[in-house]
Amino acid sequence: MTDQPDYDAAAIRSEYPETSVMPLRASVDRDKSPDGRDAAAAYNTMAIGTPLAELEARDITAWFGDHMVLEQVSLTMYAGQVTALIGPSGCGKSTFLRILNRMHQLVPGAALAGEVRLDGIDIYDPNQRLTEARRQIGMVFQKPNPFPAMSVYDNVLAGLKLTGVKAGRDARDHLVQECLTKAGLWREVRDRLRQPGGALSGGQQQRLCIARSLAVQPRVLLMDEPCSALDPTSTRVIEETIAELIKEVTIVIVTHNMQQAQRVSNQCAFFLAEQGTPGYIVEHGPTEAMFNSPQDPRTADYVKGRFG
Ligand SMILES: Nc1ncnc2c1ncn2[C@@H]1O[C@H](COP(=O)(O)OP(=O)(O)OP(=O)(O)O)[C@@H](O)[C@H]1O
Ligand SMILES: [Mg+2]
Measured by CA distance, the residue closest to atom 25 of ligand 1 is 89
CA-wise closest residue to 210 among 183, 243, 181, 172: 183
CATH architecture of 9-19+50-303: 3-Layer(aba) Sandwich (3.40)
Atom of ligand 1 nearest to the CA of 256: 25
Q: Within 13 Å, how many C-alpha atoms sit on residue 130's CB side?
A: 15
Which pLDDT does position 49 carry in this prediction? 58
The Cβ of residue 78 has, within 10 Å, a number of other Cβ atoms equal to 15
By the CB criterion, residues less than 5 angstroms from ion ligand 2 are 94
Sequence spans of domains, the chain: 9-19+50-303
Measured by CA distance, the residue closest to atom 22 of ligand 1 is 94
Spell out which residues line ligand 1, taking CB within 6 angstroms: 64, 69, 87, 89-95, 107
Q: Please tell me the distance between residue 277's alpha carbon and the centre of ligand 1 in angstroms.
A: 13
Which pLDDT does position 25 carry in this prediction? 23
Which pLDDT does position 15 carry in this prediction? 37
Ligand nearest to the CA of 92: 1
Which pLDDT does position 307 carry in this prediction? 86
- What type of residue is 67? H
- CA dist 155 and 109 (Å) reads 32
- Angle subtended at Cα 154 by Cα 153 and Cα 158, rounded to the nearest 5 degrees: 130
Q: What is the CA radius of gyration of the chain?
A: 19
Q: Are 167 and 153 in contact (CB under 8 A)?
A: no
DSSP states along 215-266: TT--SEEEEESTTTTS-HHHHHHHHHHHHHHTTTSEEEEE-S-HHHHHHH-S
Task: List the chain pLDDT tens, one digit each, 308 residues.
Answer: 333 333 334 334 433 344 333 322 222 222 233 333 444 444 444 444 578 999 999 999 999 999 999 999 999 999 999 999 999 999 999 999 999 999 999 999 999 999 999 999 999 999 999 989 999 999 999 999 999 999 999 999 999 887 777 889 999 999 999 999 999 999 999 999 999 999 999 999 999 999 999 999 999 999 999 999 899 999 999 999 999 999 999 999 999 999 999 999 999 999 999 998 999 999 999 999 999 999 999 999 999 998 88
- What type of residue is 37? R
Helix axes 169-182, 39-47, angle to 10 degrees: 40
DSSP 8-state assignment for residue 43: H
Atom of ligand 1 nearest to the CA of 225: 27
Which pLDDT does position 13 carry in this prediction? 41
Measured by CA distance, the residue closest to atom 12 of ligand 1 is 69
